[in-house]
Amino acid sequence: MTQATSPDQVMVELVDADGNTIGLAEKLAAHQPPGQLHRAFSVFLLGPSDGPDAGSVLMQRRALTKYHSPGRWSNTCCSHPYPGEPPVDAVARRVDEELGVKAAGLTPAGTVTYDVTDEVSGLVEKEYNHLFVGRVGSAPDLNPDEVHEVVYVPLDGLEAWLAEHDHTAWLSTVLASARPTLEGLRRG
């Protein structure tokens, strides 16, 4: 699936409180105050199950040139599906586009709705967010327009690590919601 508009005008799905599509909006417009509730996704990938990072989450530091939350740490990948694109397909697409990795064993981890404002840019994250967990299925090949750097952080120490690192406004909310499924994958 591809976006029908130019890269400068990416469209997102506007949704109601139950996640039903009710319209479309240009991505940047949907993030302007007071924000418009729209579909998004967040994914947390653990290291390969047979490797030294099996119990650690691949975290990304957003590219320094991004207009939203540049240089801040965030979960493995987060973005928006194209209109009509199933969220799981969007996850596979964006993980490859941003990190150059294949996601293995993607598992839905529920949804979470939040309304947070980025204190630096003033942009509003008013999202109906589909959560996924899985494992890294190939070595990262970072897209420098999207990702500045990555690091594996042990799941048990992630909150302490986040307390010491500047991170995106939505990260704590999506992590709390995805954590039970992420813990299950780590144990499993």
* Residues forming the active site: 78, 127
Q: Could you tell me which of 122, 131, 99 has the C-alpha nearest to residue 169?
A: 122
Q: Alpha helices of 70-154 — where are they, by DSSP H?
A: 87-99
Long-range CB pairs of 99-102, under 8 A, 24+ apart, other chains included:
99/58, 99/60, 99/140, 99/141, 99/142, 99/143, 99/146, 99/147, 99/150, 100/138, 100/140, 100/141, 100/142, 100/143, 101/45, 101/58, 101/136, 101/137, 101/138, 101/139, 101/140, 101/141, 102/137, 102/138
Q: How far apart are CA 168 and CA 171, in angstroms?
A: 6
DSSP 3-state of 54: coil
